[in-house]
Amino acid sequence: MEIPLNPGFIPILAGLAVLAAPRVARAPIMAFAALAAMWFLLDYQFGAANAIAQMGLPVVLLNLDALNRIFGIALLIALIALSIYSGARRNRYEDAAILMLVGGSVSALFVGDLIIFVATAALAGLAASWTVFASPIEHANRAGVRLLIWHGLEGLLFLVGVALHLTAGAASVEIGRLDVATISGGCIFAALMIRVGAPFAHVWLKDAVSHASPVGGAALSAFTTMLGVYALARLFPAEPLLVPIGAAMILIGALYAASETDLRRAAAYGLTAQTGVCVALVGVGSPLAMAAAEGHAFAALLAFVALQMVLGAVLERRGSVDAAALSGLSRAMPITSLLMVAAGLAVAGVPGFALYATQTVALESVAQWELRWLWLCIAALPAVLLVSLVLRPALAAYRASAPVPFNEAPFPMLLGAGLATFLCLSIGLAPGWLYNLMPTALVFQPFAIDRLAPQFELLGVSGLIFLALHAIGAAPKALSIRTLDIDALYRGPFALAGRWAGVLLLRVYGAWQAAAAQSGHAVGRVIAALAQLCDRPFAPARAANVVQFISIGSFLMIILLFI
C-alpha cells in the first residue's frame, strides 16, 4: 500500500541530513525543506488520504483541509525566514533540533487520527527541549530539563486520554470533536492547556525562550503554542471553558510583558497574551470567531518570530536584551534598532501590520453585550504591547549616550528578521489573501474609518500618556530586575518540599527494607530450628516431641479429609 507523504516528514528527513552536512549547506537544506514541504502542501487537494490499518485501527497520515492549511503555511513561512537567519552561526545540533521541531509540528497538523497526532506532538516537544539544550546561554541545560518535564506531563496526559478514548468503545481514533466532560476528553484538554501555555503552565514558554539561543528563541515562539491553538480549534471548538482561560492568558501576558525588563521574556509573555486571544475566540466558536482565531494565530506567529529574531540579534552582539542595557543601541546597531521598532509595531497591532488586520476581525466577532469584558481585554492589549515592546525599548535605544563602536548584527540575521517584518507589513497592507486562506469565507474591511479610528486613538493616547510620564520622570524606571512568576513556587518551595519528601520517602523505604530483612532473618532462623527438630525424631527434648506430634497429626488429618 502506498504511504501518503505528510509535508511534515520533509523537515524531519532534512533534520537528519543537517547532522552530517557542512556549515555552508545547512541553511540551504533548511530553506529547501521548507519550500519542498510548501510545494507538497499546496499540491494536494483537500481531503483525507487512504488510511493504513495498524493494530486494528485506521491510521490517517494525511488529511488536508482549509483549517490545517493556514497553520501549515504559517509554520513553513517562518521556517524559510529562520533558515536565512540561522546562517550567521554554527550549530548543527540546533539546526537539526529546529527541523525536528518544525517537522513534528507540521506533521501533527496534517494527520487525521489521534494516535499519530500524539506521536508527532511528542516529537515536537522533545525537539523543543533539544533546541534549548543546544543553546550556549548559561543555565540552558536546566531550562531544557524543565521544558522536558512539561512536555513529558503533556505527553502522559495525551496517552491517557487516547487510551481511555479507545477503551470507552470509540469506533476509531479519527480526529474530531471531543467532550471535555469525559475523562478521556478532559485529559487531552489538559494536555493542550500545557501546550498553549494556559495559566499555571504559561511559565514554560518564557523560561525556554529566554534560555534558548537567538535562533532557538525565534523557533520556539513559532512552532510550539500555535500547534495547541490548532488542536483546540479541531478538538474543542465552541468549548465555553476556553473563553475565561483565554482571557486569563491575556491578562497574565499583558501584566508580565509590561513589568518584565528582559525583552525576550517580555516578548514571550506578549505571545502568551496573543495566544490567549486565539484561545478565547476558539471558545466563542462562531464562524467569524473561528476565522478570527485562525487568522490571528497566523499573524501573531509571524510578528513574534520577527521580534524574537531582532532581539536575538541584539543578544548576539551585546550579550543582553535588558531594557536598561539598550542605551546607545541606535548608534551601534542602527538597522537592528529600526527593525526592533518595526517588529514591535507589528506585535502591537498597529494599523498597516498583519495583527491589526486580524485584531479588527477578533473585535467584531466578540462585539456582543455578554462578551463585552472579553472585547475590552482584546481591545486594550495592543496599547499594553505598544508601551512594553515598542516605546520602552525605543526610548532606551535612542537615548543619548557616549559614543559607542559600530557593531551591527550579521547580515543573515538582518535579512531573516527583515523578511519576517516585511511579511507582517505586506499582509497588513493587503490582508485580502489572508482572509481568503481562512476556512470561513470572509469579506472584511479592516481599514473602514469606524475600525481604523478607534485603534489609532487607543494607541495614540496610550503612547502619549507614557511619553508624558517619561518626560516628567514619572514613568517606571528600567531596572535590571527579574519579576517572579508562578514558577518561583515550582522551583522554590514546591521543589524544596519535593526534595524533602523524596528524602523522607527514601529513608522510610530504607527503614522498611532493613526491618523486612531483619524479620526475614528471624523467621528463617525459627523455621530452620523447627526443621532441625524434625530431623532429630529421637532427641530427648519436649519440643521435638511436640513438633513430631503436631506434624504426624496434621498429616493424618489431611489423609482423612481429602483422600
According to the model, what pLDDT value does residue 544 have?
Answer: 58
**pLDDT value of position 340:** 94
Q: Three-state SS string across 382-420, please?
A: HHHHHHHHHHHHHHHHCCCCCCCCCCCCCHHHHHHHHHH
Cβ of 284: how many Cβ atoms within 10 Å?
A: 24
Local confidence pLDDT in tens for the 563 residues of the chain: 455 678 899 999 999 999 988 988 999 999 999 999 999 888 887 766 655 655 556 677 788 888 889 999 999 999 999 999 998 888 899 999 999 999 999 999 998 888 889 999 999 999 999 999 999 998 899 999 999 999 999 999 999 999 888 887 655 677 888 999 999 999 999 999 999 999 999 999 999 999 999 999 999 999 999 999 999 999 999 999 999 999 999 999 999 999 888 999 999 999 999 999 999 999 999 999 999 999 999 999 999 999 999 999 999 998 889 887 888 888 889 999 999 999 999 999 999 999 999 999 999 999 988 999 999 999 999 999 999 999 999 988 887 666 778 889 999 999 999 999 999 999 999 998 888 888 777 778 888 898 899 899 999 999 999 888 888 877 766 655 667 777 777 666 766 776 777 788 888 888 888 888 888 888 878 777 766 666 555 555 555 566 666 777 777 777 777 66
3-state helix, strand, coil in the chain (%, to 5): 75, 0, 25
Return the residue matching grid coordinates 506585535. 347
Contact 154, 195 (CB under 8 A): yes
Amino acid identity of residue 85, one-letter, is: Y
User: How far, in Å, CA of 388 to CA of 409, rounded?
Assistant: 23
Q: Which three cell numbers stand for residue 301?
A: 506567529
Q: In this structure, how many other beta carbons lie within 10 angstroms of the beta carbon of residue 527? A: 10
Phi then psi for 207, rounded to 5 degrees?
Answer: -65, -45
pTM over 0.85: yes
What pLDDT does residue 477 have? 67
Q: What pLDDT, on the 0 to 100 scale, is given for residue 47?
A: 66
Per-residue pLDDT, 438: 83
pLDDT of residue 433: 86
What is d(CA 318, CA 44) in angstroms, rounded to the nearest whole number? 45
* Burial status of residue 373 (CB atoms within 10 A of its CB: 0-12, 13-18, 19 or more): exposed
What are the phi and psi torsion angles at 399 (to 5°)? -70, 140
Instruction: Give the per-residue pLDDT at 53.
Output: 54
Residue 204 is predicted with a pLDDT of 93
